[in-house]
Structure 1
Amino acid sequence: MLKLTDITIQLHETCLFKNFNASIPTGEVLSIMGPSGCGKSTLLDFLSGSIADTFKTSGQINLNNKELSHLPIEKRHVGILYQESLLFPHLSNLENLMFAIPETIKGKQRAELALEKLSEFNLADKAHTLPAYLSGGQKARISLLRTLLSEPKYLLLDEPFGKLDKALRQEVREFVIAQIETIKLPTILVTHDQDDADAMGGTLVQLTR
């Protein structure tokens, strides 16, 4: 379980969050909605460990009884998915996946694992092409696979479906939900879309400015 306790985030005289609390069981999603500028993405930055020093923060981030708020991003085991796929354009799709695999997996096993995942989701024929030749839905899938191959212990989704058309949005959203449920990751989704929140189930938090 991911538990947030008394999270407070302030920028100069503006308090974006004050004593915010939430509990997200494994395999479930907390959806956060609200207008632009209300602090949704800033909260994710705090939870990932990437928030700018200009913000004043306090509160506890507890994952399976381990406190994370004092740890740097590379030690939090967090997976982050953004609206942009952020795949490396100069690497093949296979190499993009291999980049995320932990260093405990060595040599040819890295390529084998990445190819296995591509095959599992009917993307093996895209292994040696560049991300530029993928459709929007394919980029979204490979981006999620890369995130999951890093073996995260919790997942943050920052408007990950925002640039997809309606039909593709539903298809990719269902794919993401299935992976969350299968791998049992506690997840926080930031979105402007009510359909995203409804599809995810779980708790919905509505923010205002």
Structure 2
Amino acid sequence: MTTAPLRLDEIVITHEGKPLIEVSARIEPGEILTLMGPSGVGKSTLLAHVAGFLPLGFRASGRIRLGETELGRLPPERRGLGLLFQDPLLFPHLDVGGNLAFGMPAGGARRQRRSEVEAALDDIGLAGFAERDPATLSGGQRARVALMRVLLARPRAMLLDEPFSKLDTALRDEMRRLVFERIRRDALPTLMVTHDRADAEAAGGPLIEL
């Protein structure tokens, strides 16, 4: 899949008429731009705007472009963005394999989709877990499944909102390596919000402090 830069051109977000955040940036394929700053400065609001979910009471101007595509004109489901949050929100009514298959593009033979799910599980060290109940997984296992579900949807860019904050230190290091390696391998421009400077250092990309 061809990837392209994610560009935030003179984005200004206001809340009830008061300026909240102003950002301009170009994120290259495989690059991770980190936004840091105290709570309430608008980091997660910016992610929500890029994803197409700007909350009521907020207004935004400027352009969001992924390659030549103007994302602001598209509904969220057509923006081609993968979202990874601090809580790995797996569907409790689906087994692990069902969770992974949910994010995959429609079409293709059932056997092929099952084979792709099994290969994905093997890729994240969870071979044989397709029929497991998500409730039986550890925190690190749930985080890996959530990541792979996003990647199987074949996004063209990634948005990360404090994705490692609820993991213990050992799992945090493991998930940073896994997430950042996949982002670089798949050449996905990525915007990450975090309070943890170690996340920014591990990402190795540009940093904007708000």
The correspondence for 2:85, drawn from 61, 75, 82, is: 82
Matches within 5 A, 1:59-70: 59-70=62-73
How many correspondences in the alignment? 206
Q: Percent identity?
A: 47
Aligned match of 1:116: 119
Structure 1 CA distance for aligned equivalents of residues 75 and 30 of structure 2: 24
**Partner SS for 2:117:** helix
Structure 2 CA distance for aligned equivalents of residues 88 and 82 of structure 1: 14
Aligned match of 1:6: 10
Structure 1 CA distance for aligned equivalents of residues 123 and 169 of structure 2: 25
RMSD: 1.0
Structure 2 CA distance for aligned equivalents of residues 144 and 132 of structure 1: 17
For residue 119 of structure 1, report the CA deviation from its aligned partner. Answer: 1.5
Query: Does the aligned pair in 1 maintain the 2:36–2:207 contact within 8 Å?
Result: yes
Structure 1 CA distance for aligned equivalents of residues 108 and 67 of structure 2: 25
Residues 1:55 and 2:58 are matched in the alignment: yes
Aligned match of 1:136: 139
Deviations 1:149-168 (A, max 9, x none): 01100000000001001111
Q: Which moved more, 1:54-63 or 1:101-110?
A: 101-110
Aligned match of 2:185: 182
Structure 2 CA distance for aligned equivalents of residues 8 and 163 of structure 1: 30
Matches within 5 A, 1:89-128: 89-128=92-131
- Deviating beyond 6 angstroms after TM superposition, the runs of 4 or more aligned structure 1 residues are none
Query: Does the aligned pair in 1 maintain the 2:21–2:41 contact within 8 Å?
Result: no
**Structure 2 counterpart of 1:62, one-letter code:** R
For residue 125 of structure 1, report the CA deviation from its aligned partner. Answer: 2.4
For residue 116 of structure 1, report the CA deviation from its aligned partner. Answer: 1.2
Matches within 5 A, 1:194-205: 194-205=197-208
For residue 7 of structure 1, report the CA deviation from its aligned partner. Answer: 0.2
Structure 2 CA distance for aligned equivalents of residues 47 and 105 of structure 1: 30
Q: TM-score, normalized by length of structure 2?
A: 0.95
For residue 126 of structure 1, report the CA deviation from its aligned partner. Answer: 1.6
Name stretches of at least 5 consecutive residues in structure 2 with no aligned partner. Answer: none
Matches within 5 A, 1:30-45: 30-45=33-48
Query: Does the aligned pair in 1 maintain the 2:105–2:153 contact within 8 Å?
Result: yes
Deviations 1:78-115 (A, max 9, x none): 10000000100121100000001100334232222111
Structure 2 CA distance for aligned equivalents of residues 116 and 177 of structure 1: 20
Q: TM-score, normalized by length of structure 1?
A: 0.95
Name stretches of at least 5 consecutive residues in structure 1 with no aligned partner. Answer: none
